[in-house]
Structure 1
């Protein structure tokens, strides 16, 4: 079967996940069941983040179909080609699934998911020469579709850049044994306090800019500063120098934290992505570096702290107070880290209040970041594994001149119903920014919180 003969039936959650998803299927036919439009209509007025995505999807569909007649909408309206390699334009149509007659063997039509599945079954029966695919992020709906007789049921994967999370860039390359015993060709040049080595790229075939190099023997630590066609330029930092990094009194407990601090304190790096298990020090290192850069070094004017606010258990209800007071329960991890940084002070509460004012730490809701232009600030985006790629794009594009952003998250603790470790916005930006000269990614390997936390991370 040729790829030109495919019909994609989209579920509602696809358009909520990515409002312009119907444009991503190149030369294929895309069908939107009427039930999907009704669900979008019900969602668009809710007071939740997802309502905005519903409104954007509705407007995008309207812009595409605005000049089409009812007959054309049912038959399919041509979409513009997205790239030069596309062989022919795709088509978008609306299918009135409410006109379908209940058939023997079909699912009952008293459920919206069932109506969408029945639409795909009907199209599969009427278009035997074509490949009809139901696209949904709902795992149970995919199971129901297969059980009902759909030949093709798929997840939406255009924003999925890796097939397995174990292939995700860690931000460093660890060599077995002694690093220098594996180097056969090296040209070195010293400039000031740093030495730069020009190595054969075959030593690190998948080298990325700002990727760190370490070895098991703790004899070498360096950072890739340039990637050429057959050579890699590596700045020799030194293992002891990495372990000697410090920010606001915090010293690295392992080499991974050392690499993270090096990237966090580097003024040439505008985006630092910290991944790793719970208790590995992501938030503490980010906050300590923020205080060091704002208060001690004066490189930025303020610290803006934000995060997504999924409700893991019961709703905490309507919270009174200012925006920062409403965000306080969600940002307790930041205040916990502040307490750790100042627990030795004579009056911890007074120290925290002083630092909050001195560093101009502002707690902001992610809902109100859109439309802003953030200048000369350090932005800490915590728990960003719960954000989609489009949400992260919205935040990162807010950052103006002289702004550094720190994104941290644990891909094992995703609370969103529609995201997995592979489709999380955190995974997306790690892969998208791995070749960008102004970014660095560090996977903080190892739980430093406590032996209890470490055991729980490994065994639960």
Structure 2
């Protein structure tokens, strides 16, 4: 008699593109992959350049599980315990032969792959009743269609979702109401060179992370969490006025959020800085100005590498003329726009831009070509990171070698990917994963400084 407590999860193609090893994340439950999903992976592995690697990894991983199984075993389910590595999966993996399904005109046309997957899930739901069968897809519209077609359980893939609501995302700073010192009873201060460090009770800051910035609304106090334990928190006193006086390549902060961002960007102890916030908040301009300051003026790094993924709608950058840098230019116009802003008052802006491009060794690279590289002595600016998955971001982060600083920026309100949301974006994932890493800082640039029109649009549209 079948165990009705075990569930069967039917995976859509986009789940395996999002996480090629997703089938190992369902514990004791069984995983079923319709044949049409394998067909889609086969097509994607050669055509869609930005997700071709994920498709190939998924295919190889599935082959590892199924390579020694008979056709009958593959349809019945092959134990996932045969997969080596660190995982908790002890259910089975099966391939469902959806090509055997007869067309049911009253439900959905089988001419579309999404409909074939839904029909397969419906057939599995019918044959395995009363056991639960769950269709897992990141496509919102597909979830709606599956529900309408009769699927009882349809879910998003949430294994790598660290928060349930984007409002819970770490901002990277904490704002006290009123005067900070009025709320502190005991404090000890230690001077180290020009820096003062204040140790206060943990009860003042019960929820705290490394490199979190602390400010109050009196516009007099600003600090950064240097260290903490169960009893106390040590804050580095940064000084509100000192932070507002920061200067990087001629750029001064227009608000305290930009000041915190500049402090983190210019701090060479920070291996990674994540900048989030709305369009027009200054993410790209601050990142570029700090990078130029550290490369050209201070000589800390040797070059600036600017990268982003090319949108799926473009298929590939290979059809554009010119070198890789020239092909990337349309996608990185935000960087060139910022360079023009930084040098708009120069006597000959074009000459200045050409000089700076060579002096700072600014290189435009496609994220597709970053795999396999080891980046040394560079500032890497990753723009538009909200459209990347966690695995794609991991690919870039693990490329960073000695004396490399990574700046990741993105706006979670501008996600273009059809299967990513604000809570499942790779940008959200790394903000939460790295929020307590001593070598990184996150700053949410809370406020649009581009124009009154841009601010109104961000708030009301």
TM over 0.5: yes
Q: CA deviation at 1:254?
A: 0.4
* Shift in CA distance, 202/304, structure 1 to aligned 2, threshold 3 Å: same
Q: CA deviation at 1:109?
A: 2.6
Counterpart of 1:330 in 2: which secondary structure?
helix
Per-residue Cα deviation, 1:181-222 (whole angstroms, up to 9, x for no partner): 111222222221111111222222220000000000112100
Residue 326 of structure 1: aligned partner: 327
Q: How does 1:148-227 map to 2 (within 5 A)?
A: 148-227=149-228
Residue 75 of structure 1: aligned partner: 76
Per-residue Cα deviation, 1:131-173 (whole angstroms, up to 9, x for no partner): 1100011111111111121110001111111101110000000
* Shift in CA distance, 112/314, structure 1 to aligned 2, threshold 3 Å: closer
Q: CA deviation at 1:22?
A: 0.9
Counterpart of 1:272 in 2: which secondary structure?
strand
Residue 130 of structure 2: aligned partner: 129
Q: How does 1:399-438 map to 2 (within 5 A)?
A: 399-438=400-439
Q: CA deviation at 1:103?
A: 5.3
* Shift in CA distance, 203/4, structure 1 to aligned 2, threshold 3 Å: farther
* Shift in CA distance, 427/32, structure 1 to aligned 2, threshold 3 Å: same
Q: Is the 8 A contact 2:50 2:312 kept in 1?
A: no
Per-residue Cα deviation, 1:211-234 (whole angstroms, up to 9, x for no partner): 000000112100001121221111
Q: CA deviation at 1:317?
A: 8.6
Residue 454 of structure 2: aligned partner: 453
* Shift in CA distance, 60/437, structure 1 to aligned 2, threshold 3 Å: same
Counterpart of 2:47 in 1: which secondary structure?
coil
Counterpart of 1:337 in 2: which secondary structure?
helix
Per-residue Cα deviation, 1:287-314 (whole angstroms, up to 9, x for no partner): 0000000011100011101112216799
Q: Which runs of 5+ in 2 are unaligned?
A: none
Greater mean alpha carbon deviation, residues 112-121 or residues 256-265: 112-121
Query: What is the CA–CA distance in structure 2 between the aligned matches of 1:85 and 1:57, rounded to whole Å?
Result: 16
Residue 309 of structure 2: aligned partner: 308
Greater mean alpha carbon deviation, residues 440-449 or residues 317-326: 317-326
* Shift in CA distance, 316/264, structure 1 to aligned 2, threshold 3 Å: closer
Q: Is the 8 A contact 1:6 1:28 kept in 2?
A: yes
Q: Is the 8 A contact 2:6 2:28 kept in 1?
A: no
Residue 244 of structure 1: aligned partner: 245
Q: CA deviation at 1:41?
A: 1.8
Q: CA deviation at 1:353?
A: 0.8
Counterpart of 2:441 in 1: which secondary structure?
strand
Residue 21 of structure 2: aligned partner: 20
* Shift in CA distance, 78/313, structure 1 to aligned 2, threshold 3 Å: closer
Q: Is the 8 A contact 2:16 2:58 kept in 1?
A: yes
Q: Which runs of 5+ in 1 are unaligned?
A: none
* Shift in CA distance, 239/230, structure 1 to aligned 2, threshold 3 Å: same
Residue 366 of structure 1: aligned partner: 367
Q: CA deviation at 1:418?
A: 1.5
* Shift in CA distance, 82/201, structure 1 to aligned 2, threshold 3 Å: farther
Residue 343 of structure 2: aligned partner: 342
* Shift in CA distance, 65/314, structure 1 to aligned 2, threshold 3 Å: closer
Q: Is the 8 A contact 1:312 1:415 kept in 2?
A: no
Q: Is the 8 A contact 2:48 2:312 kept in 1?
A: no
Query: What is the CA–CA distance in structure 1 between the aligned matches of 2:335 and 2:401, rounded to whole Å?
Result: 24
Q: RMSD value over aligned CA atoms?
A: 2.1
Query: What is the CA–CA distance in structure 2 between the aligned matches of 1:311 and 1:35, rounded to whole Å?
Result: 21
Query: What is the CA–CA distance in structure 2 between the aligned matches of 1:121 and 1:416, rounded to whole Å?
Result: 27
Query: What is the CA–CA distance in structure 2 between the aligned matches of 1:424 and 1:273, rounded to whole Å?
Result: 14
What TM-score do you get using the length of structure 2 for normalisation?
Answer: 0.95
Q: CA deviation at 1:16?
A: 1.4
Q: How does 1:30-49 map to 2 (within 5 A)?
A: 30-49=31-50
Q: CA deviation at 1:270?
A: 0.5
Q: Is the 8 A contact 1:13 1:137 kept in 2?
A: yes
Query: What is the CA–CA distance in structure 1 between the aligned matches of 2:141 and 2:306, rounded to whole Å?
Result: 36
What TM-score do you get using the length of structure 1 for normalisation?
Answer: 0.95
Query: What is the CA–CA distance in structure 2 between the aligned matches of 1:159 and 1:399, rounded to whole Å?
Result: 23
Residue 7 of structure 2: aligned partner: 6
* Shift in CA distance, 161/41, structure 1 to aligned 2, threshold 3 Å: same
